[in-house]
Chains A and B, each alone.
Chain A
C-alpha cells in the first residue's frame, strides 16, 4: 500500500520554484503525460522548462523528463530535484538517490518498495497506479498508457496545477477521438482524487502568473524548419539522423501547409531523402549552384561525411546551408545526448585551407532568426554556412518570445547578375572584380548566354580557368581568406552584458545561455562579478576581441571536452592563451548553473583570489 507522508520538516511553501524529475521506461507513453504537465504549467503563465533525457532506443530502456519551474525565469537544468516520479523499477535506486534532502518520491505503490531503497530524509508518496488502471481499464496497452496520465493526475493535485486547464488541454489533444478523450480524463481523475484524498500539500506548489503572455512553447528543430520556410528555401536534401530528423519532418509538414501553390496546385519545394550525407550535401551544392536556396539538416557524423564536398562549395564559391543539430561524439557516440562538439569540425571542414561561417543559436527563437541569416550569408558570401544547434535546443520544448516576421524582408541574394546586368558587361568572368567584401559576382545557369561559365573544384585562376600555376592559384585562395574575414561584420554580433566594470568575463555560446546567466547571478550574490559574452557567429567580429582584451581573465563555458570555442578564440583572435580558462561539461546532459558555479569558484581559488571584485 501507499505510504502516507512520513517525515515533514517545517519549511515555508515555495511558490513557482522547484524541479521535478520523472523516471520512466522508454516506449510506455510517458512522453505525452510529461509534456502535458509542462504545457499546463506554461499556460499557467509560469516560466518553465522541460528536458527530455531519452535513450537511443525504441522501447525498454530508462528515460527521464525534467521539469523546472522558476518564477524569476531561471529555467536551465536543475540538478536538485524536489520531487521524483519514480516509474521505472530498473532505476529506482539511482533515482531515489538523486532526490534532494527533504524531497519527495512519488511511486507506484501497487507493489511494495524494497526497504533498502528507503531514505529517512525523503517523503514517499505511494499511489497504486497499476492497481487503479487494472481496475478501470480492460485493454492491456491502455492499462500501461493510462498509468502515465494517472500519475500526471496525482501531480496536478499535489502541485496545484489548474485542473480546468488540464481538462482543456486534453480536450484540445483528443478532439474528435472520443474514446481516448474519455479514458484520459478518467485516468487523470483517478490519480488526482487519490492524491487529493491521501496527501498533505507539499512545501512547493504552482500559482498562476502572467509571464508567458508573449511567449510560445517550441522546440528548436521546428523553429529551424520554420526559418527555412520563411527564408525561401526550396530544395532540402537530407539523410535521417538523430537528433536532426525532426528538422526535416517539420519542414515537410510546413511545406505541405504553405508551399502547395494555391494557383497551380503544384509544390513549390523539393525534399530529397538522399542515399547518404555525401549525396545530401552534393544535392544542396547542386541546387545552390543553380540558384535555389537549399539546405541540409544533419548531425556530427553527417558533417564528417560531408567534409569532402564542403571544400568544393568553399573553393568553387557556392552557397550552401547546413543545419547541424549536434549530438555527442566521437564516432556514433551517444546519439540522444547533447554536446557542442562540432565547432572545430565545422569551422575548418574539408581538406586544404578552408574556413567557414558558423552561427550559434541559443534557443528556438534564435534558431528561427539565424536560420534565415544562414541563407542570406550563404548567398552574400557564396559559401557554406553552418548553423550549430544541438539536441537540447533542437528536441526540447523551450519557452521563448513569440516569433515576429518583418514583411519588408527581402532575401539577400548577394552579387547575382541578371541578364540586364550582363548586358552592360563586355565579358563576364566568374572570379574577377571583387567588391569591398572580396565577393565576386556570379550568374545562374540558363539565365543568359553571356553568363555561362565553368565551375570546378580543381585549381582555378580568377577567370575560372584551370590552373596549376602558383601565383594564379594563390591569388584566388588569398581572396577567399579575405572574404571569410570580411564576413565577421555580417554574422550576428555577440550578446554582451556588463556588470559594472568587472575584470572577470564569462564567454559562452549556444544553449549554455540560461545556465550561464543563472550562474552569473548566483556568483554575483557570492561577490564574484563577471561580464557576460555569448558569441553568435564565426568569424569573430571585432567586439569579441575587444571583450576578451578588456578582461583580465575569461572563463569559456562550453559543452565539449577539448575546449573547442576556446581553441577557436585562441586561433582566430590575438588573445593571450593564459587569459582564457575553460569550464567544460560534456557528459551529454544539458548544462546546469551548478556546473558553472562549481568550476568557476574552484578555478578562481586556484588562480589566486582577489581577481574578481576587489580594487576596481
Chain B
C-alpha cells in the first residue's frame, strides 16, 4: 500500500502553536486505511495532541510494529523520525531506542494483534521497565490485513462478520496493565476526540509508560451487529469513568470542583492532570479501587473509558538505571573508553 504525500498548503488563518507551527505541520502522508477506519481518528487526535503540546516534530520518535495500526505513524508528524518495524516487536525496539537516546519523545503505535498476541511478552516487559513512552493500542478485536480473524481482545460471544462467535476469553490490556504495575492506564474510543486528546497529552507528559487502549472499530471486518468492538456497541456500552483536563506546566490551574469532586495529579514534568469528574469512591491513584471498579462494570458488559489509573511516583527505566543525562548515543569516546593505562593496570589481574 503506497503512501500518498499530501500537498502542503497552509492557510494564513490557521492557528499557530508556541513553535509557530500550524496543525498541518503535524500531519503526515495521506492515510491508506479504509474510509471510516477508527485508526484515522486516533491519528487525528495524536496530531492535535502534539500540536497543542508544541512538541518539536524532529524530537518525536514514532515507533510501530506491523498491522493496520502500525501503518499509521506515516500519517502523522511527517517531520518526525519513524520506525515501522516487525510484527509484535515495537516495544522491544522502542526499549532499545529509548535506552540510547532519552531526549526524544516516543510514541508507540500498536494494535491488538501486535500487542496482545505476537508481541504480548514485549508489551508486558516494557510496562515492567516503565520506559518513557506513550503506548497506544488501536484495539478493534480483529485482524484486518489478513481479513477478519479474531484477535486476542475479542470478547466471548462477539461475532465475526461470518456470524461465528468467539469462544476464547479476551486479553484486556487495561486489567493486564493494572496487574503488571503499569503507571498510566487509559481507555478511550476513537470516536471521542474530546476525551482522547487530553489523555494523549497526559500520556506524552507521563514519567514512564503510558498505556492507552483505544477502541478503534474496524469498519470493514468488525463493525457489524453482534460485534462488541463496533461503533454502535461501543457508543451504547461506554461508561466514562473519568473526565480529565491536561494543564501544561506553568499554566494557571483554575480548579472547578465538579459534582463528584476533582483530583489533581502533578506530573513529573510539572504539568497537571485534572480529574474533573470521577465517581464516588473512585480514586484514579489507587490501583485496588480501580481494579474493583473495572471488575464490577466490565462484568456488566460496560466499556469503561477515561484516564483510569495514574501513578507519577514510579521511576522510569533511566531513573532506575541512573543513566547519564546526556543521551548515551551522544557520549564521546573519551567518556566511554578507559584508555591504555587502565588496560595495563587491569591486566595485572590476568596474571
B281 interface hit (Cβ, 8 Å): no
A443-455: CB near B (< 8 Å → 1, else 0) gives 0111111011111
> B323 contacts A270, CB within 8 Å?
yes
Nearest chain A residue, comparing its CB with the CB of B83 = A455
The complex places the Cα of A404 from the Cα of B325 at a distance, in Å, of: 31
The complex places the Cα of A607 from the Cα of B247 at a distance, in Å, of: 84
> A292 contacts B328, CB within 8 Å?
yes
Could you say which residues of chain A place their CB within 8 Å of the CB of B91? 279
Minimum CB–CB distance from B124 to chain A (whole Å) comes to: 8
> B101 contacts A445, CB within 8 Å?
yes
Nearest chain A residue, comparing its CB with the CB of B63 = A286
The complex places the Cα of A497 from the Cα of B59 at a distance, in Å, of: 54
Contact residue among B61, B96, B124, B350 (Cβ-Cβ distance under 8 Å from A272): B96
Could you say which residues of chain A place their CB within 8 Å of the CB of B125? 274-275, 279
The complex places the Cα of A67 from the Cα of B273 at a distance, in Å, of: 67
B95 interface hit (Cβ, 8 Å): yes
With contact pairs A264-B324, A272-B95, A282-B96 given, residues A449 and B79 touching in the complex (Cβ less than 8 Å): yes
Contact residue among A286, A409, A458 (Cβ-Cβ distance under 8 Å from B93): A286
B3 interface hit (Cβ, 8 Å): yes
> B323 contacts A218, CB within 8 Å?
no
Could you say which residues of chain B place their CB within 8 Å of the CB of A467? 2
The complex places the Cα of A230 from the Cα of B99 at a distance, in Å, of: 19
Could you say which residues of chain A place their CB within 8 Å of the CB of B321? 267, 270
Q: Which of B38-46, B149-157, B248-256, B340-348 contacts A (4 or more CB under 8 A)?
A: B340-348
A256-272: CB near B (< 8 Å → 1, else 0) gives 00110100111111101
Could you say which residues of chain A place their CB within 8 Å of the CB of B336? 229, 232-234, 259, 268
Could you say which residues of chain A place their CB within 8 Å of the CB of B323? 266-267, 269-270
The complex places the Cα of A120 from the Cα of B61 at a distance, in Å, of: 76
The complex places the Cα of A284 from the Cα of B89 at a distance, in Å, of: 12
Nearest chain A residue, comparing its CB with the CB of B56 = A449
The complex places the Cα of A309 from the Cα of B85 at a distance, in Å, of: 9
Minimum CB–CB distance from B259 to chain A (whole Å) comes to: 44
B287-320: CB near A (< 8 Å → 1, else 0) gives 0000000000000000000000000000001100
The complex places the Cα of A120 from the Cα of B94 at a distance, in Å, of: 68
With contact pairs A276-B121, A282-B122 given, residues A258 and B338 touching in the complex (Cβ less than 8 Å): yes
Could you say which residues of chain A place their CB within 8 Å of the CB of B347? 216, 402-403
Minimum CB–CB distance from A416 to chain B (whole Å) comes to: 11
Interface residue ranges of B55-82 to A (CB < 8 Å): 56-59, 61, 63, 73-74, 78-82
B97 interface hit (Cβ, 8 Å): yes
A150 interface hit (Cβ, 8 Å): no
Nearest chain A residue, comparing its CB with the CB of B320 = A270
> A234 contacts B84, CB within 8 Å?
no
A290 interface hit (Cβ, 8 Å): yes
> A264 contacts B325, CB within 8 Å?
yes
Nearest chain B residue, comparing its CB with the CB of A42 = B351
Minimum CB–CB distance from B55 to chain A (whole Å) comes to: 12
B106-140: CB near A (< 8 Å → 1, else 0) gives 00000000000000011011000100000000000
> A279 contacts B122, CB within 8 Å?
yes
Could you say which residues of chain A place their CB within 8 Å of the CB of B63? 286
Contact residue among B96, B318, B331, B340 (Cβ-Cβ distance under 8 Å from A286): B96
> A43 contacts B86, CB within 8 Å?
no
> A445 contacts B122, CB within 8 Å?
no
Could you say which residues of chain B place their CB within 8 Å of the CB of A259? 336
Could you say which residues of chain A place their CB within 8 Å of the CB of B324? 261, 264, 266-268
> B329 contacts A291, CB within 8 Å?
yes
The complex places the Cα of A234 from the Cα of B129 at a distance, in Å, of: 18
Contact residue among B59, B74, B96, B343 (Cβ-Cβ distance under 8 Å from A230): B343
> A269 contacts B338, CB within 8 Å?
no
B322-339: CB near A (< 8 Å → 1, else 0) gives 111101111101011111
Contact residue among B84, B122, B328 (Cβ-Cβ distance under 8 Å from A268): B328
Contact residue among A235, A404, A454 (Cβ-Cβ distance under 8 Å from B100): A235
Contact residue among B73, B85, B99, B129 (Cβ-Cβ distance under 8 Å from A312): B85
Nearest chain A residue, comparing its CB with the CB of B128 = A275
A487 interface hit (Cβ, 8 Å): no
B104 interface hit (Cβ, 8 Å): yes
A596 interface hit (Cβ, 8 Å): no
Could you say which residues of chain B place their CB within 8 Å of the CB of A270? 99, 317-318, 321, 323, 328
> B59 contacts A446, CB within 8 Å?
yes
> B100 contacts A292, CB within 8 Å?
yes
Minimum CB–CB distance from B51 to chain A (whole Å) comes to: 16
With contact pairs A235-B96, A275-B121, A407-B339 given, residues A267 and B101 touching in the complex (Cβ less than 8 Å): no
B8 interface hit (Cβ, 8 Å): no
- The contact size tier of chain A is 35 or more
> A286 contacts B92, CB within 8 Å?
yes
* Residue among B73, B101, B330 with most chain A CB within 10 A: B101
Nearest chain B residue, comparing its CB with the CB of A262 = B335
The complex places the Cα of A240 from the Cα of B175 at a distance, in Å, of: 30
> A452 contacts B80, CB within 8 Å?
yes
Minimum CB–CB distance from A262 to chain B (whole Å) comes to: 10
Could you say which residues of chain A place their CB within 8 Å of the CB of B325? 264, 266
A12 interface hit (Cβ, 8 Å): no
Interface residue ranges of A457-480 to B (CB < 8 Å): 457-458, 465-468
Minimum CB–CB distance from B72 to chain A (whole Å) comes to: 12
Nearest chain A residue, comparing its CB with the CB of B2 = A466
Minimum CB–CB distance from A423 to chain B (whole Å) comes to: 14
The complex places the Cα of A232 from the Cα of B100 at a distance, in Å, of: 13
With contact pairs A258-B338, A266-B325, A446-B58 given, residues A466 and B3 touching in the complex (Cβ less than 8 Å): yes
Contact residue among B92, B97, B331, B338 (Cβ-Cβ distance under 8 Å from A229): B338
Minimum CB–CB distance from A375 to chain B (whole Å) comes to: 11
The complex places the Cα of A216 from the Cα of B350 at a distance, in Å, of: 5
Contact residue among B3, B92, B97, B129 (Cβ-Cβ distance under 8 Å from A289): B97
Minimum CB–CB distance from B330 to chain A (whole Å) comes to: 8
Contact residue among A258, A261, A309, A453 (Cβ-Cβ distance under 8 Å from B89): A309
> B104 contacts A283, CB within 8 Å?
no
Nearest chain A residue, comparing its CB with the CB of B73 = A454
Could you say which residues of chain A place their CB within 8 Å of the CB of B331? 232, 234, 268
Minimum CB–CB distance from A373 to chain B (whole Å) comes to: 15
> B351 contacts A290, CB within 8 Å?
no
B35 interface hit (Cβ, 8 Å): no
Minimum CB–CB distance from B97 to chain A (whole Å) comes to: 4
A78 interface hit (Cβ, 8 Å): no
Could you say which residues of chain B place their CB within 8 Å of the CB of A162? none
A10 interface hit (Cβ, 8 Å): no
> B337 contacts A279, CB within 8 Å?
no
A55 interface hit (Cβ, 8 Å): no
B269 interface hit (Cβ, 8 Å): no
Could you say which residues of chain B place their CB within 8 Å of the CB of A279? 89, 91-92, 95, 121-122, 125
Nearest chain B residue, comparing its CB with the CB of A453 = B81
> A282 contacts B89, CB within 8 Å?
yes
With contact pairs A279-B92, A292-B99 given, residues A449 and B328 touching in the complex (Cβ less than 8 Å): no
> A446 contacts B61, CB within 8 Å?
yes
> A275 contacts B122, CB within 8 Å?
yes
The complex places the Cα of A294 from the Cα of B340 at a distance, in Å, of: 22
With contact pairs A266-B324, A279-B122, A410-B333 given, residues A454 and B95 touching in the complex (Cβ less than 8 Å): no
Nearest chain B residue, comparing its CB with the CB of A400 = B350
> B86 contacts A308, CB within 8 Å?
yes
Contact residue among B58, B89, B99, B339 (Cβ-Cβ distance under 8 Å from A452): B58
Minimum CB–CB distance from B19 to chain A (whole Å) comes to: 11
The complex places the Cα of A468 from the Cα of B1 at a distance, in Å, of: 8
A-B contacts besides A270-B328, A453-B82, 9 pairs, CB < 8 Å = A226-B343, A237-B99, A275-B121, A282-B95, A284-B96, A286-B100, A291-B329, A446-B59, A454-B74
4 shortest A-B CB distances, which residue pairs? A286-B96, A282-B92, A283-B96, A292-B100
Chain B residues within 8 Å of A, Cβ to Cβ: 1-3, 56-59, 61, 63, 73-74, 78-86, 89, 91-101, 103-104, 121-122, 124-125, 129, 317-318, 321-325, 327-331, 333, 335-340, 342-343, 346-347, 350-351
Q: What are 6 sample pairs from A and B whose C-beta atoms fall under 8 A apart?
A: A226-B346, A234-B331, A286-B94, A290-B104, A290-B327, A466-B1
